[in-house]
A and B are shown apart, each in its own frame.
Chain A
Amino acid sequence: MSISQPFSSSATSKVQPNDIPSGGTGGINTPLRPIKNDRGFEFPAIWSFPPFFTLQPNPSTLSHQLELWRALTLKWSKHHRVFEVNIESEQIHEVFENKYIKRKLLPPSMKKLLLEMSKNGEAAPDPPKQDNRFLIYWKKPDEWGDLIYTWIMDNGLNSSIMTFYEITDGDLSHTTEFYELPIPILRKALESLVKRGKAQLLEGKGEIGQGVRFL
């Protein structure tokens, strides 16, 4: 009995040869394996399951599928420090496309996923009221706020006024987790601190002049 191969694989430089899922030479029942990329991120075995990239028509299957996608997207973004996803971008993020099985999450599916994540506070459209560009909250703005606040206190910077740039790109913040945090997320993080009475925003003229004082 001969059955066509479940996969055709194409090698690219990103994956070590040992990690390529069952290609042309393996047996028919070769299991789907997790794949590790060159930056040490391990994609789960379901990522090599071709239907994973088609949103499922059965509602209960779909809800579970979206749950898996949400978790994977967050984990991957955190590992690679990805803060933003643009659905219309030509450059598709690695997580949304599995080249070895030639499957990708198509833009309408990606949109559905990101809207689902937004509902759960794991992403947010930015700018608001559109559904193509999203911020990914692998840490919630509150958590970023706490992290920044602790860092400010630890470094005795609470008396001085800081610019947004100094916080995310300054010499002092090179080693912090919020290094190169995009301004929209930083703004939301600081707003959460303002709400809790821990900071005060000082509006300047345009993006450059914005500053903050921690209380």
Chain B
Amino acid sequence: MRKGPGISALSRHTTYSNHYNNLSNSISSKNLKDLTESFENFKFLLIEFSIKHKKDIRSDPGFRFQFQKLCSILGIDPLLSSSSSSSSSSKNEGVVGGGGGIWNILGINEFEYELTVQLVDICVSTRNVNGGLISLDDLIKRIERLRNPQIRNKSTSQQQQQQQQQTTITIEDIKRCIKILEPLKSGYKLNKIGLNYYLTSIPKELNTDQSILLNLASISNGKLTKKLISQHIKPNWSNQRINLNLIDCLMTQGLAWIDEQSITTNQYIENDYTDLNKDIQGDIWIIAATNFED
């Protein structure tokens, strides 16, 4: 096409640019439409996938973890509504329903919140016994018993074993619960001590000495004696350091119980240990590290 001078060239230029505009508009709108379509498609497939594997996601912790990873890579927050776009097709609308997100479809929303409530329930109700320190194993055992009261009956019928399997709770689940609780600033924190995890449910930091004692307690079924401490903790602690830490566990933190009859069986000792210079008379048991089977 010849590029001519004069007034006609100007009008021709306008016509061209209009055409280009139209073309680009139609292309981008087609792109957008395609994109929306594929997004809708993807969403539909994801929902279909999650519904198809609902059972697996709910019952298999490994699968659930992978699914969560997938969602987070894709930038999808399963807790947020996914049906906010009004253009969602009527076919999907029925499934997405009130718009509680994918989790809601799976009932996982419920799953995590329910788990969190149960976690808090157990931490609060055992706080008087263990001073707000509970081993992860014990916590999970108690949550599972709360969810499946029939486990208590110790029946080993296959169906019940299956049920037990279905609700296996993992450390990943507990970690997510703690994350849910984070904004409340209630001090729930998972501590790794030695090979074991302990959950603290009141705002406190376990100091180094306490962690060392807890680590020792976790291999002695909770029982700590001065002899045991001086035998196994190197470099050696002074008697005063041992005593002070034990009194702290017992009195200030409420993590420990004392067994005075380990020394004298028939004599009653009335010790209050409010005086920090008092010598601990008996064995100290860190209850969170003691394994109870009931």
How long is the Cα–Cα vector from A133 to B283 in the complex, in angstroms? Answer: 31
Closest residue of chain B to A32, judged by CB?
A: B292
Determine which of B262, B272, B292 lies in contact with A50 in the assembled complex, contact meaning CB atoms within 8 Å.
Answer: B262
Between A6, A29, A51, A106, the greatest number of chain B beta carbons within 10 A of the residue's beta carbon is seen for A51
How long is the Cα–Cα vector from A61 to B130 in the complex, in angstroms? Answer: 8
- Once the chains bind, are A45 and B294 in contact (CB under 8 Å)? yes
**What residues of chain A lie closer than 8 Å to B228, measured between beta carbons?**
3-4
**What residues of chain A lie closer than 8 Å to B283, measured between beta carbons?**
50-51
- Once the chains bind, are B268 and A109 in contact (CB under 8 Å)? yes
How long is the Cα–Cα vector from A63 to B254 in the complex, in angstroms? Answer: 12
Cβ of B266 under 8 Å from chain A = yes
Cβ of B139 under 8 Å from chain A = no
**In the complex, which range does the number of interface residues on chain A fall in?**
35 or more
**What residues of chain A lie closer than 8 Å to B221, measured between beta carbons?**
6, 28-32
How long is the Cα–Cα vector from A31 to B221 in the complex, in angstroms? Answer: 8
**Which positions 262-294 of chain B face chain A at CB distance < 8 Å?**
262, 265-266, 268, 270-273, 282-283, 285, 287, 290-294
**What residues of chain A lie closer than 8 Å to B261, measured between beta carbons?**
50, 53-54, 102-104, 106
Cβ of A40 under 8 Å from chain B = no
Determine which of B220, B260, B265, B285 lies in contact with A49 in the assembled complex, contact meaning CB atoms within 8 Å.
Answer: B285
Report the minimum CB–CB distance from A107 to chain B (whole Å). Answer: 7
- Once the chains bind, are B268 and A61 in contact (CB under 8 Å)? no
- Once the chains bind, are B272 and A57 in contact (CB under 8 Å)? yes
Besides A32-B293, A54-B259, 4 other A-B contacts (C-beta < 8 A): A3-B228, A50-B261, A57-B272, A60-B254
A: which residues have CB within 8 A of B?
1, 3-4, 6, 28-34, 44-46, 49-54, 56-58, 60-61, 63-65, 102-104, 106-109
